[in-house]
Each structure stands twice: as structure tokens, then as C-alpha cells.
Amino acid sequence: MDQQIRVGFEKDDRLDRSRRIEWLDTKKISESSALVLGAGAIGNEVVKNLILSGMTRLAIVDFDIVQRSNLARCVFFTEIDALQKSMKAEALARAASSLVPGTMIEPVIGRVEDLPIDLYKKHDIVLGCLDNFNARLHANSHSRFARVPYIDSGMQGAIGKVFVSLPNGPCLECASNITHSKIAALRYSCTGTSVSFYMPLVPAEITTTSIVSAMAVREGLRLLSSKAPPLEGQMIYYDGLRSILDIMQVDIDPNCPNHS
């Protein structure tokens, strides 16, 4: 018997509008999984965008608790989360899983530096939503070892950036300069565990967070869709006050420990 198609059937398809984008592979996206490192402002937006794009399997890593100062930028956190000092990864996983029925989100409580390499290998893409430079370098190097694409995102005030690192291409360390190296050297003592200087809080607001997160997720969707060429080794800079996007090509540094 021929299948009957009724008028307005497409309105019942949650991903109907996404399927109309020629390069977007909604089937592959729904079958893929993402490792999200960081459950703060960018992490909240990244998880929201991934789930609404059709992805139903994620893991979220964070060791911090929800504070009231997070509520102006984190769509999934509530006053109750802040009052109860809920773990960010658990609060985000709990709230975000209700967006789409059947969504499976694994909260992982811990530091990025302590994650086993097998956790990276279980996922198709890794999205870094971290505010610690050393943790971002660590995540990128481990993603490369696991042969999983890494998408790094960060922001300060109205400025943001997104970087795509593929296993065979330039990494975040290749894109670093002497200023980054000095920050990395100051951040930890020789033991690698004790904080050796005070890091001031980074200014942040929701519009820049939303834009940077959206760009990061779009690059993730691009990587999972074979019809869309990836932005390999390209650093995307966003200046919200000037409404400007700039792209800088990053080359492999032959002295980088990830490539030497």
C-alpha cells in the first residue's frame, strides 16, 4: 500500500527545517556523540545547540558548582541550583536532557587534566568550553592522541574566538604565542597542582557567549557533515563591539611538542 502523505506532515518533524539545509547531515549528527569540556556559560549554550541540532548522546565534564553569578549567562541553571550548590555538570545534564525526549547526557565530575584517554575515544567530536589555558592545551593534545577533532572556544567581554583542530592539522599550541606561554608558566607551581598567582575574573555577557558558542557548534556540525568542508587550522575571531569576524590561518609549528 502506498504511504499516504497528509498536508502539513512536515510540521510534525522536529528537524524538518534542518533537513532542508543541503550540507547538513542530520542523520549522521543524530548518530554521533560529543564530549563537552566545561559546563559554564559557553558549555550551556553549546549543549543546547547540539541537542536542538539533533544530537542525543553527550558527556559533560566539569568540577565546579553553580553560583548565582552564573545565572545571567547559563540558560540551564536555576536559583535552586545556586542555592543548593549543585555540580554544574549534573545540573546542566539534568536540565538539558529534558529538551528532547530520549536524550542521554552523562555528567562527569572532575578536572579535564584527570580524564582518561578512553573518554575522548568514545566520542566523535570534542568541544572545549574552558576558561583555563592549560586545560585547553591538555584537551587539544589528548584529542589529537585519540584522533578526535577538537573545537576550542573562548571569550572575554565582547571578544571571542573559535579554533578547529583536526588530528593531522595544527593544534592550539601551534597557535599560541609567548604571552600564552607566560600565563601557562605562572598558572601552576612546579608540582602542577597548586595555584601560584591570582587570576582575575573574566568579564562576560550573554550575547557574546551565544555567538561564540553557536560558531563552535556550527563547526562541529560541519565536521560531522561530509558535504561541508571543515575549517581546519583556522582561528575565527569575533569582535562584538565592531560586529567584525576575522579568520587567521594557523600553520603547524615544527617545534610544537604535539607534532615533533
> Containing domain of residue 199, as a range?
17-249
CA torsion sign for 252, 256, 259, 260 is positive
Does some domain include residue 8?
Answer: no
In a domain, 56, yes or no: yes
> Does 205 score more than 90 pLDDT?
no
**DSSP-assigned letter for residue 128:** E
Query: Mean of the pLDDT values across residues 249-257?
Result: 90
In-domain check, residue 96: yes
Among candidate residues 89, 90, 91, 104, the one with its CA nearest the CA of residue 30? 104
d(CA 151, CA 83): 32
Question: What's the pTM value of the predicted model, to 2 decimals?
Answer: 0.88
Structural domain contains residue 4: no
Task: Please tell me the least confidently modeled range out of 71-80, 105-114, 182-191, 205-214.
Answer: 182-191
Which residues are CB-contacts of 144 (< 8 A; sequence separation ≥ 6)? 150, 165, 167, 171, 258
Residue 220 φ/ψ, nearest 5 degrees: -65, -45
CA angle 211, 216, 222 (to 5 degrees): 125
Is 257 contained in some domain?
Answer: no
State the CB neighbour count (10 A cutoff) for residue 245: 12
Whether residue 235 lies inside any domain: the answer is yes
pLDDT at 180 over 80: no
In a domain, 10, yes or no: no
Number of domains in the chain: 1
Q: What CATH number should be reported for the domain holding residue 148?
A: 3.40.50.720
Q: Is residue 196 part of a domain?
A: yes
